Structure 1
Amino acid sequence: MLYVDIPTNPEIRALIETRADACVSIYLPTTPETQNVTLSRISFGNLTRTALEQLDAAGFDKRRRAVLEEHFLALDEDNDFWRLQANGLAVLATPDSLRTFRLATEVTKTVEVSDRFRLKPLMRAMAFPQHAFVLALSENDVRLVEVFADHPATTLNLPALPDSATDATGRASINNPGMGTGHGNAQGQKWLLLKYLRKVDAALRPVLAGRETPLILAATEPLGPIFRAVNSYPGLLAEGISASPDRMSESALASAARLVLDGHYAARIETATALFHERAGSHRAISDLQAVARAATFGAVELLLVDIDEVVPGTVGETDGTVALATKPGAASYGVIDEITGRAILAGGKVLAVRREDMPDGAAVAAILRYPV
């Protein structure tokens, strides 16, 4: 099983707002195979030493350093924690707290020390997680399958999920729907299916509540349209899997779901790029780093596109958004693109993390604005 805990929007906003005398951000690839986790633990130990050395070089308070080191040692020695891993791990620590997030996708080995956290890898996991749920739905069976980028899909055990339409309606068959329903056959069958699908939706709520993970529906007519009418989860994608899922394995459902996800993300990028070029003529689309930082600081960013792999060390002025670049990462600087992203999110802007080849103008950041700045 893959143990994943991607941060919610309220959690990411709280992390963006965190400031401390030492914020240590550590990212490393891990493995869900418990027998092979030793290398991940060794890597974590090496990265914590690098962080502590940076603090020593900056003359950090020795007592606060000792407390931070205790956090790292406690995590390093927690066998139960390391036994339950995914494909990537984020460790965000200050002398007063330590948070971990296990990610479905691999991350680049990174350590950064600053007065705020490096969060772009987490935002990437939120924006393009390649993680989804598939609701495989038919009259005879219903399954909720969790799909990951680099790990086999698994069917979740949901005790409240009905086994079938007949189980949900308490009838031996729904093929004679008019009997006992007070409706004609066609209306009676729809009434029974509605009862079934409302129970399915209710069973999903405790699992999906508070998430933004895409839900992909695998169903044929008439179940597909009827479920969409009663569905209460906002993350249900418009595109689904139109084949009957009865004979589809978890692996087959996952393969079909990944195609849906790829199309969903590609459409989002295409739409954002087209809007960027449309707004450029009215000075509401910019890609200059300084200009984007200023717009994010003033709360003018409606949609921010960021190159997920670009790292630009430096600082951003708190009041005017002026960018001062650093020659190399260090305790006195932080990731400028991370900071711009955080400011856009806190002001209610949306963020789309993309590859460099998909960025407008080939820039590291690009912003669609609410108004010209």
Structure 2
Amino acid sequence: MHIDMPSRADIERLAAARDDLSITVYLPTSPIPVNDEENRLRARALFDEAISRVEQLADKQTARALTDDLYALLDDLEFWRDLGRSLAIFVTPSSVLEFRLANELTEYVAVADRFAITPLLRAVTFPQAAFVLALSQNGARLIEVSADAPAQEIEVPGIPPNAEAFLSPRSIGGRSPYGRIQGDEGRKVRLTQYARAVDHALRPVLNGESLPLIIAAAEPLSSIYRGVAGYAQVADEVIGGNPDDQSPAQLAQAARSVLDDIYAAELKELAEVFADLRGSGRAVSDLSDLARAAAMGALDTLAVDMGAVVPGFVTDDGALVLEDASSSVVPGHDALEEIARRALATGARVLALRRADLPDGVQAAGILRYAFISGRATN
């Protein structure tokens, strides 16, 4: 399975792009090779739908060029042999960009003056990425887990080969050179020394990172390492037992279960923070307030319902203008997406969640950098 996870810069670039013929296609795909032809047939149906809409909006020459671009991708058999669980495609008369994603998205096709980004936001809201420290008395390994590549071991210069070699010539259960500790007490002291040496070797490698570090170790080494770790993002949950016989792929599988728990805890914390700040005016769910806050750069965190569409737009001064869904709405003009675009442009964290994960089941919820009333900041 091949995955191309978009970066925040990719999403911001797509969110800001404007072209009267912006084609957005999302489709679920199967990474299993036997389903290659089914993937292509499903894509062709969506491409044909997009082309039909383009033909109503563009001259014949432009429509033909866009058709050729889409079908050139369709005819690239190597591309269709190496997919993830979804495909996101963004096309204009001058560019074609695609991402193979790890999570399954719903079929979607649109032709508008901008790309639809909410499904793509869902793909990066919880990235399924982490580091795993597989730690035992026999050695330590740092494994990088990501959604866009197989798990792999990272070389860590200076990491102790094992506890016994690090503490040579005495065993970790023996007496100290000065005879002051022995037995279980001496073993704990020496394991602490070993864990600290591992941590010091890891620090230059993890410097500047923000992904969770999941410890895979048996007790007491797991707790000992946690007590000396200098990395701020050590996960509370561990992968228990001796990790020596587990491959990077097996450790990655266990890590993803831990990540699911981490993300569930983040959602719970988001709901609690929202509830705490609501009374002070620093948490809002009314779309008009959110639109105004986004225009003012007041949003710190925005969560939107990944399945909701609110026909309408946001004016330059942040006014929300809703449209009748039964009327002739310009495709792609989704007020919820426009709020998300503006929030992204001002550095806010934007999450695409399921409705059930949003506070009180609202369509969107925002935590503000500062409170405001009727567009004016308050202290």
Q: TM-score, normalised by structure 2?
A: 0.79
- Write the distance in 2 (CA, Å) between the matches of 1:335 and 1:139: 56
Corresponding residue SS for 2:238: coil
Change (3 A) 1:100 1:32: same
Change (3 A) 1:243 1:282: same
Stretches of structure 1 that go unaligned for 5 or more consecutive residues are: none
Change (3 A) 1:251 1:191: closer
More displaced, 283-292 or 90-99?
283-292
Tell whether 2:49 aligns with 1:53: no
Query: Which residue in the other structure is 1:65 paired with?
Result: 63
- Write the distance in 1 (CA, Å) between the matches of 2:323 and 2:157: 54
Query: Which residue in the other structure is 2:355 paired with?
Result: 356
Query: Which residue in the other structure is 1:136 paired with?
Result: 134
Query: Which residue in the other structure is 1:118 paired with?
Result: 116
- Write the distance in 1 (CA, Å) between the matches of 2:229 and 2:14: 35
Query: Which residue in the other structure is 2:105 paired with?
Result: 107
Equivalent position amino acid for 1:37 in 2:
D
Spell out the pairing of 1:271-350 with structure 2 (5 A cutoff): 271-327=269-325, 332-350=331-349
1:4–1:86 contact (8 Å) kept in structure 2: yes
- Write the distance in 2 (CA, Å) between the matches of 1:81 and 1:62: 28
- Write the distance in 2 (CA, Å) between the matches of 1:25 and 1:69: 14
Tell whether 2:353 aligns with 1:371: no
Change (3 A) 1:102 1:163: farther
More displaced, 129-138 or 20-29?
129-138
More displaced, 113-122 or 320-329?
320-329
More displaced, 328-337 or 125-134?
328-337
Give the deviation of 1:228 after TM superposition: 8.3
Query: Which residue in the other structure is 2:75 paired with?
Result: 77
Query: Which residue in the other structure is 1:27 paired with?
Result: 26
- Write the distance in 1 (CA, Å) between the matches of 2:131 and 2:39: 28
Give the deviation of 1:214 after TM superposition: 4.4
- Write the distance in 2 (CA, Å) between the matches of 1:168 and 1:74: 59
Give the deviation of 1:28 after TM superposition: 0.8
Corresponding residue SS for 1:5: coil
Change (3 A) 1:127 1:83: same
- Write the distance in 2 (CA, Å) between the matches of 1:32 and 1:264: 26
Query: Which residue in the other structure is 2:171 paired with?
Result: 175
- Structure exhibiting the larger radius of gyration computed from Cα positions: 2
Give the deviation of 1:315 after TM superposition: 2.5
Change (3 A) 1:159 1:281: closer
The size of the alignment, in residue pairs, is: 360
Give the deviation of 1:123 after TM superposition: 0.9
Give the deviation of 1:167 after TM superposition: 11
- Write the distance in 2 (CA, Å) between the matches of 1:231 and 1:24: 47
Change (3 A) 1:35 1:14: same
Task: Give 2:255's match in structure 1, choosing from 254, 257, 260.
Answer: 257
Corresponding residue SS for 1:334: coil
1:139–1:164 contact (8 Å) kept in structure 2: no
Q: What is the aligned-residue identity percentage?
A: 33
- Write the distance in 1 (CA, Å) between the matches of 2:310 and 2:150: 38
Equivalent position amino acid for 2:292 in 1:
R
Give the deviation of 1:156 after TM superposition: 2.2
Give the deviation of 1:295 after TM superposition: 1.7
- Write the distance in 2 (CA, Å) between the matches of 1:251 and 1:344: 37
Stretches of structure 2 that go unaligned for 5 or more consecutive residues are: 374-379
Corresponding residue SS for 1:137: strand
2:310–2:322 contact (8 Å) kept in structure 1: no
Tell whether 2:152 aligns with 1:156: yes
Give the deviation of 1:87 after TM superposition: 0.9
Give the deviation of 1:263 after TM superposition: 2.5
- Write the distance in 2 (CA, Å) between the matches of 1:129 and 1:351: 13
What is the CA deviation profile of residues 264-289 of structure 1, one whole-angstrom value per residue up to 9, with x for unaligned ones?
22222222222222222223222222
Equivalent position amino acid for 1:353 in 2:
A
